[in-house]
Amino acid sequence: MAKKIVTDLELKGKTVLVRADFNVPMKDGEITDDNRIVQALPTIKYIIEQGGKIVLFSHLGKVKEESDKAGLTLKPVADALSEKLGKEITFVPETRGKKLEQAVKDLNDGDVLLVENTRYEDVDGKKESKNDPELGKYWASLGDVFVNDAFGTAHREHASNVGIASNLETVAGFLMEKEIKYIGGVVENPDKPVVAILGGAKVSDKIGVITNLLNIADKVLIGGGMSYTFFKAQGKEIGLSLLEKDKVDFAKELLDRAGDQIVLPVDCKIAKEFSNDAEITEVSVDDIPADQEAMDIGPKTVELFKEQLQGAHTVVWNGPMGVFELSNFAKGTIGVCEAIAELKDANTIIGGGDSAAAAISLGYGDDFSHISTGGGASLEYLEGKELPGVVAIANK
């Protein structure tokens, strides 16, 4: 269902509340990856150009007690945002009260204010995370309209997304619109043929995704640690490779049901220890020794997956093909990333998380149609679940 977006509103002179996702990785008070700030810029710039007064909300990390606050302030985000916009940002180091209310009143058209980390409200009773109705109503009272551009939290029912939306006219920002179009499009109305590539460590993390994608995709290619549970279901020796014993029966059921719709690796890279210095051997998946661990797909599997991708109109990828944080076991993930990036006539979508980080770090960020900013949110969307943050946005 089409949602209202920020361009559907008259913004001049309005106080526009914006839920962004500035949950950026930090180390020693420094931002180590500003991708989420960059992704929020188009919506912010548009509202500035239209003469709106912007009040930004975001969470950062998990604030469980008073002592967590100092290390999880949004002040570094305010500084980074100010630099990227080329204008001063008003940062209010509070989540409610007279100082915040006055700062909002003092905004002129085109001004931007950032409210302190919404999770500060979790110290006393988890008011943000449990969508305290009084808090959502209070934040809503600060503005005229609400733009939700934080897909990364769309699977959560928090005061700063669903709570505000319950009290104000709510539309999607450009990033949220893009996520609904691409991730939602895979689930609701994909351009066929569809090929899904799933990796990562655990079958249990992706049960709902695999099950739902088997109803949508023409082929589901499975790599990464989760594939060895499927091999176990086929009765193969998997050595010391990752295994979820309690998911072997589920994997067998899926294989029996899906037939050749599921494509598994044909070779893998094995080693005796979890180390970049370990001696690596490439073997068939039928020849994994009992005393070694498979840690990446092999070159024949990369070629097989490339063949399966040919002719696809929609490709969705979620999860690495091996232990990609160790360079010697990253070649499978790199190979799959390159294969998808080379598909110029397909909608190519990465469903957030580690695969998104891999594509960006490998320099392929611009070669995909869409890289989701939501890990958990994109997974739940691909499962076919309704996301509270999306549901709360007004329909056209």
Omega before 388 within 30 of 0, i.e. cis: no
**Residues identified as active-site:** 36, 202, 353, 376
Alpha-carbon distance of 13 to 110, in angstroms, equals: 9
Q: Are strands 30-31 and 26-27 parallel, antiparallel or unpaired?
A: antiparallel
In terms of Cα–Cα distance, which of 394, 340, 326, 339 is closest to 368?
340
Q: Render each residue's pLDDT in the chain as its tens digit; 396 residues.
A: 689 999 999 999 999 999 999 999 998 889 998 989 999 999 999 999 999 999 999 999 999 999 999 999 999 999 999 999 999 999 999 999 999 999 999 999 999 999 999 999 999 899 999 999 999 999 999 999 999 999 999 999 999 999 999 999 999 999 999 999 999 999 999 999 999 999 998 888 899 999 999 999 999 999 999 999 999 999 999 999 999 999 999 999 999 999 999 999 999 999 999 899 999 999 999 999 999 999 999 999 999 999 999 999 999 999 999 998 899 999 999 999 999 999 989 999 998 778 888 888 888 888 999 999 888 899 899 999 999 999 999 999
Distance CA 385, CA 346 (A): 25
Annotated binding site: 21-23, 36, 59-62, 119, 156, 206, 325, 352-355
DSSP letters of 18-54?
A: EE------EETTEES--HHHHHHHHHHHHHHHTTPEE
Binding residue positions for substrate: 21-23, 36, 59-62, 119, 156
- Give 300's Cβ-side CA count (13 Å radius): 11
Number of neighbours of residue 157 by Cβ within 10 angstroms = 17
Mapping DSSP to helix (H, G, I), strand (E, B) and coil, where does residue 14 land? coil
Residue 210: name the closest of 330, 316, 337 by CA. Answer: 316
Rounded Cα distance between 103 and 355, Å, is 40
pLDDT digits (tens, 9 = 90+) for 49-65: 999 999 999 999 999 99
Q: Which residues are annotated as a binding site for ATP?
A: 206, 325, 352-355
Q: Measured between alpha carbons, how far is 33 from 21 in angstroms, rounded to an integer?
A: 13
Instruction: Map out the domains of the chain with their CATH numbers.
Output: 6-173 (3.40.50.1260), 181-383 (3.40.50.1260)
Using a CB cutoff of 8 Å and minimum separation of 24, what contacts does 250-258 make? 250/203, 250/207, 251/203, 254/210, 254/211, 254/214, 254/230, 255/230, 257/214, 258/214, 258/220
